[in-house]
């Protein structure tokens, strides 16, 4: 009798397990790092939270501006306040004195410098 033929070093079962392991690894990498993966989902959730905060701020500002518009339509004192503060208007006989918010720094003159 002749000896049995030599077996390959890798069996079909081992090869199949290697292919399945590589496939599973590729699937996990795609699930975590892919275009629609876990990291992309977390990034979209953070962006959505930021947008919701921005919407809330804009809605509050819109409400404040609507109240200011209503006040300007119905309250003569509000109109006068805007005229005085923003337009620098005054009643007849009044003087408007404007004080600069940041006064200019004193200029160094040549007389005060020592040589």
pLDDT tops 70 at residue 3: no
Query: Which sign, positive or negative, has the C-alpha torsion 66, 67, 70, 71?
Result: negative
Q: Work out the mean pLDDT of the chain and round it to a whole number.
A: 85
**Integer Cα distance of 53 and 51 in angstroms:** 5
Tens of pLDDT, residues 26-44? 998 888 888 888 899 999 9
**What per-residue confidence (pLDDT) applies to 13?**
86
CA dist 78 → 70, 90, 91, 97, 107 (Å): 10, 14, 15, 20, 41
Q: What is the mean pLDDT of residues 50-70?
A: 97
Is the whole-model pTM more than 0.85? no
């Amino acid at each position: 009798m002749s000896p049995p033929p030599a077996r390959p070093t890798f069996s079909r079962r081992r090869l199949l397990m290697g292919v399945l392991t590589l496939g599973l690894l590729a699937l996990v990498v795609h699930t975590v790092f892919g275009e629609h993966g876990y990291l992309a989902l977390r990034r979209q959730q953070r962006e959505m939270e930021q947008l919701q905060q921005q919407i809330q701020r804009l809605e509050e500002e819109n409400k404040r501006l609507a109240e200011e518009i209503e006040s300007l339509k119905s309250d003569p004192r509000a109109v006068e306040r805007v005229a005085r503060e923003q337009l620098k208007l005054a009643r007849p006989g009044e003087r408007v004195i404007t004080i600069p918010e940041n006064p200019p720094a004193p200029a160094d003159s040549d007389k005060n410098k020592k040589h």
